[in-house]
Structure 1
Amino acid sequence: MAVALTAVAATTRSILLRDVEHRITRLLAQEAGEFAHFEEQGFDPETGRRFTEPDRLLRVFLERQYADADEELIGLVRRAGRDPAKLVQPRDIPTGRPLRDDAAARRAIFASKGPTGTLRRAAGEIRWAKVDVARHGDSPEAAFVVAFHPERERAKADEVFRILLAISGVALLMTTGIGWAVAGRILKPVRVVRTAAAQLTEQDLTRRIPVQGRDDIAALADTFNGMLDRLERAFAAQREFVDDAGHELRTPITIVRGHLELMGDDPAEREETVRLVTDELDRMSRIVEDLLLLAKAERPDFVSPEPVQLAELTADVFVKARTLGERRWELDGVADRAARLDPQRVTQAMVQLAQNAVQHTTQGQTIRIGSRAGGRRIELYVADSGPGVQPQDAEVIFERFRRGTARRGARTSGAGLGLAIVRAIAEGHRGRVRLHDTEGGGATFVLEIENAEKTTERNGAGS
């Protein structure tokens, strides 16, 4: 702003000085033109005839003129062997040394060959114009000179420049003060955000920023509060996850250590101990693999969608699930359409649901696998005829390391990560997994995925 104000003041001064120069040029040209016209057309008021004497011409013209404050009108007449005689208007000139009192300057102007010029003196610059009178050969006998002293006009422009600089300085100070105050008010919420961020720790994520107004700063504070909410939930989930994982891994480690410490020299006992230890290590390996899989669920490349025929995928899942246990497996309705999804992840989720159904049913009970579609949505489902899921367990069972408490007779040996993996796969496809009761008893798990293909359905056969 300081540069801009200075540039405005300097530009204004330059424009004023240019106007002064143009006005002086016009004034000199006007006065010289008026004298030239008078010389050609004027008559002596005493004789009524044309002027014949330069002195008389200059005297009559000067008597009829009124010069500006900084302007001098002078008549110069040649005198043999002496400086040109001067005819002037009897008035004061507001300058240090007028032209009428400067013989050297008058002599230089009278001897000049040009009609206009600028005379630079120690006493001040003079802009002049000259009209020669009664020229005989190459030497004029007289001349009319109009001289202008530009110092005062230029001083006025300089005074305006100084005034503009002073006003600009005051405006700059006022603007700086106002800007400082306004910027302080605008940035106060930002400082609050910064202070809140600096005070955040893993142990205290409860601080929130008060949101006032509806401007961008309020939106920033609201966004920051939303981020803190997500961080608090993430840290809480992380702590719970670490605690649960530590508990689940600590159990098989304790079992392995206890059996190894108690293992004797009997070959049968050693063989049984190795079997038990190997079984626990396998369970630990499965827990670690499931944990790694759930960790990958946060990455954008967790699922790799590709065009898939849903009927073929459903049939493949059915074939693979039949090997999980001696149950009455049925291939239910099959959606015959193309879908864009990750076949490996969906197969993994469906097999996990089938394994869950096997664990909560007995030999000979029915498990149905199928798919259906409608509009932009496709569904793959596994329905069993087991004891079902109690309402209080419906949400809990999809959390990590959580198992239902009411499916009686279940023979579960997992860590409680299977259904959490299913939910992660569904959410990776921008879908969800939901649970409802099976008609006639049991539980039905539905993997719901958003899609946009036309659909037809056909019935499958049971086995």
Structure 2
Amino acid sequence: MTTTGMTMTSDGERQPRGSALPARWRILTWILLTTAVALVSVVVTTRALLLNDVDHDANADITQEIDEFRAFAAVGVDPTTAAPFTSVDRMLEVYLNRQHTSEGEVIVGVVGGDLLFDRRIALDRPDLPPGLTEDGNLFDPMLATPTNSGVIDVEGGRVRWARSDVTSGNNDGALIVAVFTAEQRAQVGETIRTIALVAVGGLGLTAVIGWLVAGQILAPIRQVREVAAAIGEKDLTSRVPVHGRDDIAALAETFNSMLDRLEQAHDTQQRFVDDAGHELRTPITVIRGHLEVMELDRTADATTRAATLRLVEDELDRMARIVSDLLVLAKAERPDFVTCREVDVTDLTLDIEAKAQMLGTRDWQLMEVAEGVAGIDSQRVTQAALQLATNAVSHTHDGDVIQLGSAFVDVDGRRLFRVWVRDTGPGVAPEDASRIFERFRRGNPAPADVGGPAPERGGAGLGLAIVRAITDAHHGSVWVDSTPGEGATFGIDLPVHDPDVRLPATDHREQGDPEPHNAESVPDPRKAVTS
């Protein structure tokens, strides 16, 4: 059985397919293989070209000598006497004595079966085979063949030759020009051996350089592997060093980006587990305690049991709300938490006001309504606004005034869409304004929050954290303006983005802004609020 990139062993384990040879060795092997093929091709081609030059030069020398002799014979005048030649012997003798042969070249005259050699043949010439003057049989094939040129292999090596027949009076003869190429071929062999030795040295140098370069190229990949091996369940902070701007650097950056996403997902999961464990411990303890008491108290009447069950039901509802809020905050870390579309903010504001009236019996007043469109996520903005309205309900009494509204404002050259909610509750203490938008943080009651029925203050402290998560995902801000004892105004400011733009969720803590937005870092909302 096989799977993509894997093979199944007999014991059911998966093993990756492919070569077990390290990448560095594979790179070096291919470099050496291609280099060796190229060098062999160069050596073979060079040898063929040099041998072809040897044969070409030999043919050129033979052609030149034959042409010179034919021109000499055509004139037919003895240069020493200025009289015409009377015999072939004299013609060949005079011509041979005037020649200067090149390396490996032999010029022979033949008259009546006798051989006449040029005067240099008696010299010690290593380029010619020994005993050449005594071995007359060497030239017999050249005389016997009907053709006037050819190539023969003799003991002294390969010979290229040509013959020119001549007649003078009643005498016949011939001139044979032969070139022994053994010496030139031997020189070619020496040259090729030298080139081969240089090629082997170059191949060795290529191996060393290839090994070093392959190691340098693969070093970032090795660092990726080492970082991946060093990453544990509790530590996702390791990153691969990025050097340069090449493909390997791009790979390292992509790997680091993946680690960033994994770390963010792990932190989100861990924070969700920690928050859930922290906040759910109390209601679970309360539920377990009351159920144990009810189980032990067999004499409890129906009214007591009903009260206990109502309390348990209330705690279960609170647990459900906590889990739901935690899930929202966990989703806020995802890039698709908000999906911006072009929204008519007038309809959005009226919709928020209609839904807010269902949150409590308060004197709801819609103070202003923005007109126009904005590129926002209408569902998330509604959720944030209703969270602010719920917060206002929890700090007021029946019949108290809660005002809300929306407007377009310009702040520092930016066009913002603002939604705000103002209550007449106890307000927010200055020391609480910097922390109430954090998770599980609840403000302390202001001194004026006394007397009368106590407002509902039993939330988990996640509502305003959700509001901040939604505004952060829009690249906006959340603010509060309050005077203790005189109520508070909460609002959100969202940039007016282009439609159909999906904005990634952001975490201000990663952008050098660890503190929540507070009244000191946002514009005074009363400048945009009308009554």
What is residue 446 of structure 1 aligned with on the other side? 492
Q: What residue number does 2:371 align with?
A: 336
Work out which of the residue numbers 69, 72, 93 in structure 1 matches 2:106.
72
Q: Does 1:372 align with 2:405?
A: no
Partner of 2:420: 382
Determine which of 175, 181, 198 is the counterpart of 1:144: 175
Who is 1:435 aligned against?
A: 479
Residues 1:124 and 2:153 are matched in the alignment:
no
5+ unaligned residues in a row in structure 1: which ranges?
454-458
Identity in percent = 45
Q: 1:316 aligns with which of 351, 356, 368?
A: 351
Please report how far the alpha carbon of residue 249 of structure 1 lies from its aligned counterpart in structure 2 after TM superposition. Answer: 1.7
Deviation of 1:67 after TM superposition, in Å, equals: 0.9
1:160 and 2:191 matched: yes
**Alpha-carbon shift at residue 124 of structure 1 (Å):** 1.5
Residues 358-369 of structure 1 aligned to structure 2 (within 5 Å)? 358-362=393-397, 363-369=399-405
**Where do 5+ consecutive residues of structure 2 fail to align?**
1-34, 450-454, 500-527
TM-superposition CA deviations, 1:363-393 (whole Å, max 9, x none): 4233222131557643232232444444554
Q: Distance in 2 between matches of 1:172 and 1:406?
A: 83
Distance 1:347 1:52, change over 3 A: farther
Paired with 1:143 and 1:301, the residues of 2 have a C-alpha distance of: 102
Contact preservation (8 Å) 2:392, 2:421:
yes
Q: Counterparts of 1:179 and 1:299 in 2: how far apart (Å)? A: 45
Contact 1:69 1:93 in 2 (8 A): no
1:291 corresponds in structure 2 to 326
The CA distance in 2 between the partners of 1:172 and 1:443, in whole Å, is: 79
Is the counterpart of residue 254 in structure 1 residue 254 in structure 2? no
Change (3 A) 1:57 1:228: same
Cα distance, 1:40–1:337 mapped onto 2, change above 3 Å: farther
Give the aligned partner of residue 452 of structure 2: none
Q: Which residue of 1 aligns with 2:464?
A: 419
Question: Is the 1:71–1:93 Cα contact (8 Å) retained in structure 2?
Answer: no
Partner Cα distance (2:213, 2:163) in 1 = 62
8 Å CA contact retained: 2:374, 2:496: no
The aligned counterpart of 2:97 is 63
Q: Distance in 1 between matches of 2:336 and 2:264?
A: 23
Rate the CA distance shift 1:155–1:330 in 2: closer, same or farther, 3 A: farther
Separation in structure 2 between the aligned mates of residue 339 and residue 142 of structure 1, nearest angstrom: 114
Equivalent in 156, 170, 182 of residue 201 of structure 2:
170
* Structure 1 pair 441–293 and aligned structure 2 pair: CA distance change class (3 A): closer
The one of 71, 85, 88 equivalent to 2:117 is 88
CA deviation after TM superposition for structure 1 residue 163, in Å: 1.3
Alignment map for 1:179-258 (pairs within 5 Å): 179-181=210-212, 191=222, 194-204=225-235, 238-258=269-289
CA shift, 1:39, in A, is 2.2
Aligned CA distance change for structure 1 residues 181 and 52 (closer, same or farther; 3 Å): same
CA gap of 1:358–1:7, structure 2 versus 1, over 3 A, is farther
For residues 213 and 461 of structure 1, the distance between their equivalents in structure 2, rounded to whole angstroms, comes to 56
| Residues 87, 168 of structure 2: 8 Å contact kept | no
Aligned pairs, number: 447
Q: Is the 8 A contact 2:388 2:421 kept in 1?
A: no
| One-letter amino acid of the counterpart of residue 159, structure 1 | E
* Greater shift in the superposed pair: 164-173 or 295-304: 295-304
Whole-Å Cα distance in 1 between the matches of residues 50 and 387 of structure 2? 89
Q: Which residue in the other structure is 1:456 paired with?
A: none
Alpha-carbon distance in structure 2 between the residues aligned to 1:393 and 1:143: 125
> In structure 2, the residue corresponding to 1:74 is in which secondary structure?
strand
Equivalent AA in structure 2 for residue 307 of structure 1:
E
TM-score by length of 2: 0.71
Q: Does the aligned pair in 2 maintain the 1:384–1:443 contact within 8 Å?
A: yes
Distance 1:330 1:120, change over 3 A: farther
CA pair 312-233 structure 1, distance change in 2 beyond 3 A: closer
What do residues 24-59 of structure 1 show as CA deviations (whole Å, max 9, x unaligned)?
A: 232222222222222223521244244453332222
Q: CA separation in 2, counterparts of 1:407 and 1:102?
A: 132
- Mapped partners of 2:252, 2:444: distance in 1: 42
CA shift, 1:298, in A, is: 3.6
Give the whole-Å Cα distance in 1 for the aligned partners of 2:68 and 2:473. Answer: 96
Partner residue of 1:31?
A: 65
Q: SS at the partner of 2:478?
A: strand
How far did 1:66 drift?
0.9
Q: Is the 8 A contact 2:272 2:330 kept in 1?
A: no
1:218-256 deviations in whole A, cap 9, x for unaligned?
Answer: 998899888878876765665444222102122222222
Corresponding letter in the other structure for 2:231: L
- Counterpart pick for 1:397 among 436, 450, 453: 436
Match of 1:3 in 2: 37
Give the AA of the match of 1:412. Answer: R
Cα distance in 2 for partners of 1:407, 1:169 equals 90
Amino acid at match of 2:477: V
- Tell me which of 304, 313, 316 is aligned to 1:278: 313
**Paired residue type of 2:366:** L
Distance 1:436 1:417, change over 3 A: closer
Rate the CA distance shift 1:327–1:43 in 2: closer, same or farther, 3 A: farther
Give yes or no for contact 1:128–1:147 (8 Å, CA) kept in 2: yes
Confirm whether residue 109 of structure 1 aligns to residue 142 of structure 2: yes
* Maintained 8 Å contact 1:208/1:225: yes
Structure 1 residue 406, shift from structure 2 partner? 5.9
Which of 230-239 and 253-262 deviates more?
Answer: 230-239
C-alpha separation between the residues in 2 aligned to 1:224 and 1:5?
A: 40
Q: Deviations over 1:299-334 (max 9, x none)?
A: 443333333222222221222122222334343444
